[in-house]
Chains A and B, each alone.
Chain A
C-alpha cells in the first residue's frame, strides 16, 4: 500500500473543486486513458487576469486526484502570472510530499495548468514539441529535459517516476540516459564557465607546475603531461614515481585531486606507460 500523507488522503477523500467551471475561459486537458491518468482543468479568469474559479476532473489514482485538487486550491485567487510560476514540486510540497513513484501526478497538474493558460491566451492546443522518446507513454525529449532540470533528476528510474518515460517496454532507457548526461553536462557549475580546450590544457599545466610538481619532486619523483583528450588527462611518471608501486595511488589522490580542485571535477587522470 502507498504511503500517502494525511494531506493527500484528505484531498483524495474530500476533493476540493471537483467538476467543471461552467463559463470557463481557460481549459487544459492532459494525459490519456492509455497512460493511466488524465486531468481536465477548467478556469474562469477575470478581466484583470486573476483566476476567479478553478475546477478539475481526474481519471487516475488517489495521488492524481489529490494533486489536481491541491492545484485548484493553490491557484484560486492568484493572477495568471503568479499561477504560471507553480512547479510540480510546489504541488507535491502542498500535499506534504508524494511517494517518488507518484511524482508524475504532480507533473500532470503542472502540465494541465500550462495548457489552460495557453488556451486562455489563445495559443490553442500546442502540438507536442520535441521528439517522442518514450513511445509507450508518448513523452518527448523536451518534457524529459524539463523534468530533469526542475527536479534535479539523475537516474532513469527517477525520470520514470516523474514523467512515466521508460516505464513501459524500456527500449528508450539508453536515450533517457543520454538526455540526463546532456542536461547534467549543461548544468555543470555556472561559476566555472565552460573551458575551451586550450584554456583547459593551460590550466592543467599550471596546476601541475605550481601545485603538484613541488610535492612530487620533494620525494624525487615527477610527472609529465602527455596529452589531454576531452576530460582524460594523460600523464607519464618520471623519476622515483616511475618505479614506485604506489604511483597509481599518488596519481589519483594527489594529481587528480588537485586537478579537480583547480581545473574541473570531471577530469580523469590516466597514466601512459612508455
Chain B
C-alpha cells in the first residue's frame, strides 16, 4: 500500500538533498567543531555556512542564530531568558491557541506566581487585537505569540503585535515553527526579538531547532555548559543536523513560490472537493488568513479518530483534533478556543500538505474520504440521513 502523506504539520520527510548534505558528517566529517585540529575545525567552517543559510531565509544576521535541539527548547529558552533578564517583571502575554511548548510552560509559570494572560481568538481563530493591546502593561516581561497555528494554519499578525510590544519596551517572541519555509519571513526590519524554528517541519531531520535572538537583546542561556553557540547554548553541536537544517533553509527559500502557488492550489482543490461532496462540514479557520498548506475540516456527527483509522486503511495520513486521538477526553484546545461546537470539534481532521504532494494524491483523498464519512455517519445515532442534518443541531 502506498502512503499518501498529508500530515506535514506533524513532521515532514527529510528532503533527499538534505539527507545527502548531512550524511558525510556521520562518517568522513565526524570531527568536533571545537577541536584545535584541522579535522575538527573544517566542520566549524561548514557550520558557519549553515548558520548563514538559516539567517538568509529569515533576513537575519548569522550571529543572531542559536542552534537548539527542537522548537520546544527554543520556545522555553526564549521565555525563560526574558524572565531571567528582567527580574521584577512577572507578567507574560500569550494566546489561548499556542503550541503546548508555550502553553504548558505558561501553566507552570502561573503556578510559580507569574501572571499569565492568554489572549482569546474569534470563531475563525483570529487574535483579539484589542484584548492584546489592553493586556500589555509595565509589568509585562514578554509576549509569546505563534506566527501560524499548527492545527488550523491561521496566521497571527505578529509583526503588528511585535510593534505594539516594542513601543512599550516589551520583548516579543514568536513560535514560527509552522510558518518558516511556508510563508516569507524577513526579520531585518522587524520588531520581533526572538523566533523559534523546528528543523523537522521544513524537511530537515528531527532533533534540531533554532532560536533567533535579535542582536542587542538581553539573553540568558537555558542550557549552560560549553562555549558552543558563543556561550548561549551549551552542548556539542548536532553537526549533521545543523548542516541539514542549513540545506533545508536554502531549499525552503527556493521552494517558497511553489509552496504558495502549487501547494496552495492543491490544498484548495482538496478542500473544495471535500466540501462539495460531503454535506455538513466546515473549514476551521477558513475565513482567516492561513498557511498555504493547511486545511482543518470538521465533519458533523462523527468522531475524528474513527475517520483517521478508516483513512489509514488506504494509507492516507492526517491528524485530528478530537479528544480520542490525543488520549485526553476533550477536543483540541485550539478548536475549543475558537468556539467550534462539540458536534463539529470531535470530527475534525487536519490535512497538511508539502511540496512533495501531487495532484493524483489529492484526487485519491477526495475519492476515498466521502465514503468514509458516509460509513461513519450511518453508524452514528446523531446522523439523520433523511434530513441531511445533524439531529442535535450545532
A residues lining the B interface (CB < 8 Å): 2, 12-13, 15, 18-19, 29, 33-34, 36-40, 57-65, 101-102, 136-137, 160, 164, 167-168
Chain A hits for B302, CB < 8 A: 59
Interface assignment of B306: CB less than 8 Å from any CB of chain A: yes
In the complex, the answer to whether A60 meets B303 with C-beta atoms within 8 Å is: yes
Q: Which of B96-104, B108-116, B353-361, B378-386 contacts A (4 or more CB under 8 A)?
A: B378-386
Chain B, 330-348, CB within 8 A of any chain A CB:
330-331, 342-343, 346
B330 touching A57 by the CB < 8 A rule? Answer: no
| Pairwise interchain contact B380-A59, C-beta atoms closer than 8 A | yes
Are the C-beta atoms of B343 and A33 separated by less than 8 Å? yes
Inter-chain contact count A-B, CB under 8 Å? 77
Given contacts A12-B309, A33-B342, are A59 and B382 in contact (CB under 8 A)? yes
Q: Is the CB of A36 within 8 A of B382?
A: no
B contact residues around A61 at 8 Å (CB):
303-306, 322, 324-325
User: Which residues in A have their C-beta under 8 angstroms from that of B323?
Assistant: 36
Chain B residues with CB under 8 Å of A40's CB are 381
Measured between beta carbons, the chain A residues less than 8 angstroms from B313 are 13
Considering only CB atoms and an 8 Å cut-off, how many residues of chain B contact the other chain?
A: 27
Whether B324 and A29, one on each chain, are in contact in the complex, defined by CB atoms closer than 8 angstroms, is no
Are B329 and A164 closer than 8 Å at their CB atoms?
Answer: yes
B322 touches A65 (CB 8 A): no
Residues in B whose Cβ lies below 8 Å from that of A62: 305-306, 309, 324
Chain A residue at minimal CB-CB distance from B328: A167
Classify the secondary structure of B's interface with A: loop
C-alpha spacing A60/B305, complex, angstroms: 8
Does B301 lie at the interface of the complex (its beta carbon under 8 Å from any beta carbon of A)? yes
Q: Are B381 and A36 in contact (CB under 8 A)?
A: no
Say whether, besides A101-B327, A167-B330, A57 and B381 are in contact (CB < 8 Å): yes
A65 in contact with B379 (CB, 8 Å):
yes
B2 at the interface (CB under 8 A from A): no
B191-230 vs A: 1/0 string, CB under 8 Å?
0000000000000000000000000000000000000000
Distance of A28 from chain B, by nearest CB (Å): 11
Q: How far is the CB of A247 from chain B (nearest CB, A)?
A: 41
- Given A59-B302, A167-B329, A168-B330: A38 touches B346 (CB 8 Å cut-off): no
Chain B residues with Cβ under 8 A from A160's Cβ?
Answer: 329
Write out the residue numbers on chain A whose beta carbons fall within 8 Å of the beta carbon of B346: 33, 36, 59
Which chain B positions have C-beta within 8 A of A57?
A: 379-381
How far is B136's CA from A114's CA once the two chains are assembled, in angstroms?
A: 55
Do B309 and A36 touch (CB < 8 A)?
no
Contact B379 A33 (CB under 8 A): no
A15 near B305 with CB under 8 A, answer no
Q: How far is the CB of A40 from chain B (nearest CB, A)?
A: 4
Chain A hits for B305, CB < 8 A: 2, 61-62
A105 CA to B274 CA, complexed, in Å: 30
Please indicate the chain B residues that have their CB under 8 angstroms from the CB of A39 in the complex: 381
- In the complex, which residues 305-324 of chain B have their Cβ closer than 8 Å to any Cβ of chain A? 305-306, 309-310, 313, 322-324
Question: Chain B residues near A58 (CB, 8 Å)?
Answer: 379-381
